[in-house]
Amino acid sequence: MWRRIYRWLDERYQLQALVEFMSHKYVPMHRHTIWYYFGGVSLFLFLVQVTTGILLLMYYRVGEDASYESVRFIMSQVRFGWLIRSIHSWGANLMILTVFIHMFSVYFTRAYRKPRELTWVSGFLLLVLALFFGFTGYLLPWNQLAFFATRVGTEIVGSVPAIGHELVRILRGGEEVSGATLARFFGLHVALLPGIFTILLTLHLLFIQRQGIAEPESWAGRPESEKRRMPFFPNFLLRDLLLWLIVLNVLAFLAVFYPWELGPKADPFAPAPPGIKPEWYFLFMYQTLKILPAKVFFLEGEFVGVLFFTLGGLLWMTVPFWEGRLGKYRNEIAHLIGWIVLVYIATMTLWGFRS
Amino acid sequence: MRGVTRRSFIDWLLGLGIVGWISSVLYPIIQYIIPPRVPEARLSAVKVGKVDDFEPNSGRVVRFGNEPVLLIRTEFGDFKAFTATCTHLACIVQYRPDWKLIWCACHNGRFDLNGINIAGPPPRPLEPLKVVVRGDDVYVTREA
Ligand code: HEM
Ligand code: FES
């Protein structure tokens, strides 16, 4: 039966060539192989987000008087609504975490070097987009925590000299965080961001397809017989699928035993409750802003922070283009920079949690 | 004009055309996403309640048009009002009866009862508004 379907398709679409092609792709095997899985897991989590996101769309409504109520409806009335929403929320957090891990593993194995510069750049942009997904999605349930986190988050942009105020108005769709903000964030979250993300992701994967997976530098000059490889198809793919199954189980476990809370509805005329903090993936930036003085020279402290992370992000994104000029100790220097960035993000995040 | 061939002239025209085309698409889009300024009705005075609705040494956030305003009744019984939007990062402030101060829970900013920023990150004082008591009714107005 399967054979016949396969033959029917093969006759028309030459599947054999594809199988041939895939069985010639190899994944290098060495003690860092484990890190190769994080890209695949991130991809899987994105697919989970798209699926659960589309399901949420069937009941979610946008508006100051509708959003909170519709999310509460999803959680209390819709069968398995609580599960879908919880998976979407947990999935967002796990996805951002795995993308971070994926990025640092690429950095430390120096797989961003020629010829993979653009794979690195597209990957970095995907991380930035994932952060935007998180920021815009967070507001959508229109609960109190999200309302104030968005007020604070958008207000930071107001520190940009001259055009700051206008930028905040564009972000919020008006002077205040209101139903207009909700409408904007909704459009970004479910239409614009998924579109751009999908295009970039396709490019990212095409680049990888074309070039194959980077081999560790220590392999250069080794005889072929000493290089251990695993065929991408079916070995690596099957392991990947197994891992996806495990990740799905982790997600289900988190969603069932730690269901995502909704909290009270946003009230633009009530004082902010204590403990307003952004999601953990913004904490390192937030904590940096908090420890900056109100004025640095003649600039607002927040703006200096914004500038610092914009420039830092640009340098990080363009690593493959300037790292080659570091000279004799480029490996050591690049390694050191990676650790500084990683330790900085980790300490600031922890500090942000505790304060 | 030496150095300008017919070819480079056409390239130049083409480039100009593309730039013109892109900007004629982008310009309306950018204008579109800037929210229009809705003229705010100049609020003269808003009635926020009766004198007896407010206990001495307490505060409440009330609506002043689209704006949240913190109305405080001090322990001595007089009224004060300030815009409730924190001058740091726009959280909404509250009155702390235990400290007899205005407090912002977001980053622990504090203001005294004249709205002056006295501790924490807020860089500027809160804008004061005027409270008028007429008979039994409490009104908030923006000082002209
Ligand atoms: C095509 C893709 C997506 C669609 C259609 C979609 C749709 C939605 C909808 C309708 C909501 C509001 C319902 C709710 O709040 O429970 C929402 C919330 C949210 N989304 Fe998405 N989403 C997508 C992808 C993503 C991605 C990739 C991320 C993160 C990386 C993400 C992160 C979030 C977050 C953090 C929330 C708030 C969850 C909550 O507190 O309820 N979404 N999304
Ligand atoms: S927003 Fe009030 S102290 Fe930061």
CATH number at residue A71: 1.20.810.10
Cβ–Cβ contact B16 with A under 8 A: no
Residues A46 and A126 in one domain: yes
Question: What is the rounded distance in angstroms from the CA atom of residue A240 to the CA atom of residue A236?
Answer: 6
Close Cβ partners of A75 (under 8 Å, ≥ 6 residues apart): A81, A82, A85, A262
**Closest-CA residue to A215 (of A82, A110, A341, A118):** A110
- Give the CA distances from residue A104 to residues A111, A288, A291, A316, in Å, rounded to whole numbers and listed in that order: 10, 21, 26, 11
Residues A253 and A293 in one domain: no
What pLDDT, on a 0 to 100 scale, did the predictor assign at position A227?
82
Q: Which domain holds residue A253?
A: 18-143+179-219+228-270
* Residue A253 within a domain: yes
| Distance in Å, alpha carbon of A177 to nearest chain B alpha carbon | 10
CB A41 within 8 A of CB A95: no
Q: Which ligand is nearest to the CA of A83?
A: 1
* A189 C-alpha to ligand 1 centroid (Å): 7
Tell me the residue type at A84: I
Atom of ligand 1 at shortest range from CA of A56: 10
Residues A186 and A64 in one domain: yes
Is A148 in Cβ contact with B93 (below 8 Å)?
Answer: no
What pLDDT, on a 0 to 100 scale, did the predictor assign at position B2?
63
Cβ–Cβ contact B84 with A under 8 A: yes
Is A174 in Cβ contact with B90 (below 8 Å)?
Answer: no
Residues A240 and A322 in one domain: no
Residues A257 and A338 in one domain: no
Counting every residue, how long is chain B?
A: 144
* Residue A152 within a domain: no
* A143 SS3 class: strand
Starting at the earlier edge strand, list the strands of the sheet with B94-96.
B94-96, B101-104, B109-111, B117-119
Is A275 in Cβ contact with B63 (below 8 Å)?
Answer: no
**Closest-CA residue to B121 (of A354, A293, A153):** A293
CB A355 within 8 A of CB A274: no
CB B72 within 8 A of CB B80: yes
Question: What is the rounded distance in angstroms from the CA atom of residue A130 to the CA atom of residue A98?
Answer: 11
The residues of A whose Cβ lies within 8 A of any Cβ of B are 148, 151-152, 155-156, 166, 169-170, 172-176, 180, 268-276, 290, 294-295, 302
Q: What angle do CA B35, B37, B39 make, to 5 degrees?
A: 150
Alpha helices in chain A (DSSP H): 2-13, 15-23, 37-57, 67-76, 81-108, 117-139, 144-157, 164-172, 179-187, 193-211, 237-257, 280-291, 301-317, 319-322, 330-354
Q: Which ligand is nearest to the CA of A45?
A: 1
Residues A319 and A261 in one domain: no
What is the dotted CATH code of the domain comprising B45-141?
2.102.10.10
Residues A33 and A62 in one domain: yes
Residues A139 and A245 in one domain: yes
B62 lines ligand 2 (CB under 6 A): no
* Residue A208 within a domain: yes
B137-141 vs B45-50, strand pairing mode: antiparallel
ipTM for the complex?
0.83
Cβ–Cβ contact B107 with A under 8 A: yes
CB A100 within 8 A of CB A287: no
Cβ–Cβ contact B89 with A under 8 A: yes
Is B62 in Cβ contact with A271 (below 8 Å)?
Answer: no
Cβ–Cβ contact B106 with A under 8 A: yes
Q: Is the preceding omega at residue A234 within 30 degrees of 0, hence cis?
A: yes
B contact test, residue of A159, A175, A286 with most B CBs within 10 A: A175
* Start-to-end Cα distance in chain A: 63
Number of folded domains in chain A?
2
Question: What is the rounded distance in angstroms from the CA atom of residue A113 to the CA atom of residue A76?
Answer: 51
Is B106 in Cβ contact with A271 (below 8 Å)?
Answer: no
This prediction has a pTM of: 0.91
**Closest-CA residue to A118 (of A208, A217, A216, A215):** A208
* Residue A125 within a domain: yes
* Residue A197 within a domain: yes
Residues A193 and A286 in one domain: no
Tokens of A350: 């922890």
* Residue A113 within a domain: yes
Phi, psi angle pair for A67, to nearest 5° = -60, -55
Return per-residue pLDDT of chain A as tens, 355 residues.
Answer: 899 999 999 999 988 888 888 777 888 887 777 888 899 999 999 999 999 999 999 999 999 999 999 999 999 999 999 999 999 999 999 999 999 999 999 999 999 998 999 999 999 999 999 999 999 999 999 999 999 999 999 999 999 999 999 999 999 999 999 999 999 999 999 999 999 999 999 999 999 988 888 888 778 788 888 888 888 878 888 888 999 999 999 999 999 999 999 999 999 999 999 888 899 999 999 999 988 888 888 888 899 999 999 999 999 999 999 998 988 899 999 999 999 999 999 999 999 998 8
The dihedral formed by the CA atoms of B32, B34, B38 and B39, expressed in degrees to the nearest 10: -120
Which of A270, A302, A329 is the endpoint of a domain?
A270
Tell me the residue type at A70: S
Q: In chain B, which stretches have pLDDT less than 70?
A: 1-2, 40-43, 143-144
What pLDDT, on a 0 to 100 scale, did the predictor assign at position A195?
98
Question: What is the rounded distance in angstroms from the CA atom of residue A350 to the CA atom of residue A340?
Answer: 15
* Residue A89 within a domain: yes
Q: What angle do CA B121, A352, A312 make, to 5 degrees?
A: 90
* A151 C-alpha to ligand 1 centroid (Å): 19
Residues A237 and A316 in one domain: no
Q: Scanning every residue of chain A, which has its alpha carbon at the shortest distance from the alpha carbon of B84?
A: A271
* Residue A250 within a domain: yes
Residues A79 and A106 in one domain: yes
Residues A80 and A32 in one domain: yes
Cβ–Cβ contact B46 with A under 8 A: no
Is B104 in Cβ contact with A152 (below 8 Å)?
Answer: no
